[in-house]
């Protein structure tokens, strides 16, 4: 397959898009602090997110024909210089991050105002844009050490953002601390793995490293590096049973941050896993080691079943959604474990579809926190009548989470079932269907609480603020749009899978 590559040897705006993707949010963060005005901070955040979205869409259009953009930082060609490398996979993930960041921006205006003390607003938005910068940097860089650097930028910002939820609930501090400890352990494992790879290859450029690793699959150093990286990324990814930090972090963080991180952070960790497994180590290495069959596959099934069962018994809507996220990560890992182009296509499309589904639901949960005094299911009784538009969006999100036809969740689960059957792994198709039935149960509990349990003052409509509803319904309509119009998501996911699975 011919992959034309463009180099950054001129200063036209189009050729500078890869570096602008990082610079826009990165420069906006200190600008917010310098200006120090809460309203202007929100506007800068919104505009930075919107510009980032436009850049990411343009990058996706440039590589949608199978091309690869190679941007050389400072004009130094790789492997000596640092490279930003864009293909169909990371362009798709960049679009997801920027899209989610733009969708949640209007929501943030009221949400942050209600949950974060006013004196912290400017620093809150600055930390948020640093988190966005880190996530985008992880995805766009072609240098393995820079993956670690950007990952730590996003993680450090996340710890701060989660801890700021302590204004509403002091448990946010312990949740942020637990996340910090687990995240630090994961980062340590990850950087040790990178160090071992550097010891073997003498390079940090992904493509150069991949070429130098060929024929070294039997090396104990290479295998140790792979193990360290998988464990390190697994902790960041919250792969079962390394998920202990996620439920509390998502439950007690500010609602705006929970919605953003749930839709992006674990998806970026999955991207890292895909990039290292298939671009650096290559499919032949995975087949020889058989780690997907003996490690990732069982853990993905455990996540799909056990996390779904735990979600059924949650008393808090946010906690329910958090355990659901662990289960949905299991679906994506299951697609990867099938070890085929169709399985990878299913994993990549579910990565995107689950992102837009979960951001809608967590924004709904945040609206209930503001208007109903909390996200406990007991607080939500009768909310279907007092908050009709918010609750209708909750139903749409729940249907997508289950995988009802006409929603984004159905498309990715359908392709995943097809991939399992196509590769002769029909028992996995049964597991997928069974896990989806468990989703019916816990989503059914939410819908039952909203519409069939009596609350106080059901005749008084106390709807979410308009700016929050706009964000909630953009995400909810996206769940429907990407469930009915699948050309973009399937074609890009299929192209990304084909490029990853080149042996």
Q: How would you classify residue 215: left for phi > 0, otherwise alpha for psi between -120 and 50, otherwise beta?
A: left
Band the pLDDT of 214: cuts 50, 70, 90.
confident
Share of the chain above pLDDT 70, in %: 95
What are the beta bridge partners of residue 205?
Answer: 143
The Cα–Cα gap between 366 and 114 comes to 10
* pLDDT score recorded for residue 480: 93
Share of the chain above pLDDT 90, in %: 48
The Cα–Cα gap between 315 and 309 comes to 13
* pLDDT score recorded for residue 400: 92
Q: pLDDT of 438-478, one tens digit each?
A: 999 999 999 999 888 776 555 566 788 898 999 999 999 99
- Range with lowest mean pLDDT among 163-172, 174-183, 476-485: 163-172
Q: Which of 438, 442, 441, 418 is nearest to 428 (CA)?
A: 418
Q: How open is the CA angle 266-478-263, to the nearest 5 degrees?
A: 10
Between the CA of residue 304 and those of 278, 310, 331, 358, 494, what are the distances in Å?
23, 10, 7, 16, 24
Q: Does residue 241 have a cis peptide bond before it, meaning omega lies within 30 degrees of 0?
A: yes
Q: How open is the CA angle 162-166-171, to the nearest 5 degrees?
A: 85
C-alpha of 128 from chain center: 15
- 3-state DSSP percent of the chain in helix, strand and coil, to 5: 80, 5, 20
Q: Specify the residue for token string 């503001």.
A: 370
Q: Find the mean pLDDT for residues 266-286.
A: 89
The Cα–Cα gap between 450 and 440 comes to 15
What are the beta bridge partners of residue 72?
Answer: 83
Q: Please check the confidence at residue 10 and state whether its pLDDT lies above 60.
A: no
The dihedral of CA 145, 146, 150, 156: what is its sign?
positive
CB atoms within 10 A of CB 337: 26
- Range with lowest mean pLDDT among 6-20, 52-66, 202-216: 6-20
Q: Please check the confidence at residue 9 and state whether its pLDDT lies above 60.
A: no
Q: Which two tokens stand for residue 471?
A: 């964000």
The Cα–Cα gap between 335 and 283 comes to 14
* pLDDT score recorded for residue 282: 85
Asked if 196 contacts 228 with a C-beta cutoff of 8 angstroms, the reply is yes
Q: Find the mean pLDDT for residues 373-393.
A: 87
Q: pLDDT of 328-360, one tens digit each?
A: 999 999 999 988 888 899 999 999 999 999 999
Between the CA of residue 152 and those of 94, 198, 261, 450, what are the distances in Å?
18, 19, 14, 39
* pLDDT score recorded for residue 382: 84
* pLDDT score recorded for residue 146: 92
Determine whether 114 is exposed, middle or buried from the number of CB atoms within 10 Å of its CB (0-12, 13-18, 19+).
Answer: middle
Determine whether 206 is exposed, middle or buried from the number of CB atoms within 10 Å of its CB (0-12, 13-18, 19+).
Answer: buried
Q: pLDDT of 281-294, one tens digit each?
A: 888 888 888 888 88
The Cα–Cα gap between 237 and 370 comes to 29
Residue scoring higher pLDDT (17 or 502): 17
Band the pLDDT of 49: cuts 50, 70, 90.
very high
Q: pLDDT of 478-489, one tens digit each?
A: 999 999 988 888
Q: Which of 93, 111, 12 is nearest to 366 (CA)?
A: 111
Q: Find the mean pLDDT for residues 30-39.
A: 88
Q: Find the mean pLDDT for residues 213-218.
A: 81
Query: What residue spans define the domains of the chain?
Result: 298-503
Band the pLDDT of 167: cuts 50, 70, 90.
low
Tell me what the pLDDT averaged over the chain comes to.
87
Q: pLDDT of 98-143, one tens digit each?
A: 999 999 999 988 888 787 888 888 999 999 999 999 999 999 998 9
């Amino acid at each position: 397959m011919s992959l034309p590559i463009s180099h950054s040897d001129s200063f036209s705006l189009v050729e500078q898009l890869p570096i602008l993707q990082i610079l826009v949010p990165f420069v906006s963060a200190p600008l917010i602090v310098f200006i120090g005005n809460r309203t202007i901070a929100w506007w800068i955040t919104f505009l930075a997110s919107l510009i980032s979205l436009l850049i990411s869409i343009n990058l996706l259009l440039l590589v949608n024909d199978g091309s690869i953009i190679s941007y050389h930082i400072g004009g130094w060609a790789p492997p000596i210089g640092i490279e930003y490398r864009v293909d169909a996979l990371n362009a798709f993930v960049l679009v997801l991050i920027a899209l989610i960041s733009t969708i949640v921006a209007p929501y943030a205006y009221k949400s942050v105002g209600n949950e974060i003390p006013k004196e912290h607003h400017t620093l809150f938005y600055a930390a948020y844009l640093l988190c966005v910068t880190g996530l985008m940097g992880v995805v766009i860089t072609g240098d393995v050490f820079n993956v670690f650097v950007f990952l730590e930028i996003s993680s450090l910002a996340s710890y701060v953002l989660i801890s700021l939820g302590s204004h509403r609930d002091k448990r946010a501090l312990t949740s942020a601390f637990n996340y910090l400890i687990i995240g630090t352990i994961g980062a340590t494992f990850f950087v040790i793995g990178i160090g071992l790879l550097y010891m073997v290859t003498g390079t940090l450029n992904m493509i150069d490293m991949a070429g130098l690793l060929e024929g070294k699959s039997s090396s104990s150093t290479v295998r140790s590096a792979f193990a360290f990286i998988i464990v390190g990324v697994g902790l960041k990814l919250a792969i079962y049973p390394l998920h202990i930090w996620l439920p509390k972090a998502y439950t007690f963080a500010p609602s705006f941050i929970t919605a953003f991180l749930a839709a992006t952070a674990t998806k970026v960790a999955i991207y890292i896993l895909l990039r290292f497994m298939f671009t650096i180590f290559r499919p032949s290495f995975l087949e020889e080691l058989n780690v997907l069959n003996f490690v990732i596959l069982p853990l993905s099934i455990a996540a799909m079943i056990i996390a779904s069962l735990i979600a059924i018994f949650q008393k808090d809507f946010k906690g329910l959604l958090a355990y659901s996220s662990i289960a949905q990560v299991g679906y994506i890992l299951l697609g990867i474990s099938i070890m085929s182009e169709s399985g990878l296509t299913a994993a990549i499309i579910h990565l995107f579809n689950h992102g837009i589904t979960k951001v809608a639901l967590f924004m709904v949960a945040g609206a209930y926190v503001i208007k109903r005094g909390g996200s406990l299911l007991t607080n939500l009784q009768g909310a279907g009548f007092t908050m009709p538009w918010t609750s209708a969006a909750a139903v749409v999100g729940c249907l997508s989470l289950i995988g009802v036809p006409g929603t984004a969740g159905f498309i990715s689960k359908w392709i995943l079932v097809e991939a399992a059957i196509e590769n002769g792994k029909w028992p996995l198709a049964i597991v997928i269907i069974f896990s989806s039935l468990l989703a019916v149960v816990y989503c059914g509990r939410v819908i039952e609480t909203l519409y069939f349990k009596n609350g106080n003052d059901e005749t008084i409509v106390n709807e979410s603020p308009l700016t929050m509803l706009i964000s909630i319904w953009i995400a909810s309509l996206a769940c429907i749009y990407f469930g009915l119009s699948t050309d973009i998501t399937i074609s890009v996911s299929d192209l990304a899978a084909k490029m990853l699975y080149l042996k």
